[in-house]
Amino acid sequence: MAKTVLIVDDDPAILRAVETFLKIKGLNVISCLDPGDAFKVAQSKRPDLVISDVAMPGIDGFTLLTSLKNNKNTQKIPFILLTATDRMADVEKGFNSGAQAYVLKPIDWDRAWAKIQPFVA
């Protein structure tokens, strides 16, 4: 059975690009433009992996990550942050909050897959 990935990004173009890439890799994909909806979806669908943008209006990726890690039903779901910045403080904040990896924008698909694949194999 194919693994399921929840993608969260407020940019529809990025969301579609990641969704298309993961579907080509044979994965089921759930896409959310709104991080508030993503928390509810993660609780109800229990994806095998969450990939979330960091900078979003309202709830940012760090807040979503922390919320999922603090919930007993979602705390074990691996989480990858998708971001345009590689500032060390942000990277440390993500890892300290429970992220398993970072994928930088613009996306290098080979590098991204190397980070995603271990969680969906």
- Domain residue extents for the chain: 4-120
Q: Can you give the pLDDT of all 121 residues of the chain as single tens digits? A: 899 999 999 999 999 999 999 999 999 999 999 998 999 999 999 999 999 999 998 899 999 999 999 999 999 999 999 998 878 888 899 999 999 999 999 999 999 999 999 999 9
Q: Which CATH superfamily is domain 4-120 in?
A: Response regulator (3.40.50.2300)
Burial of 90 (0-12, 13-18, 19+ CB in 10 A): middle
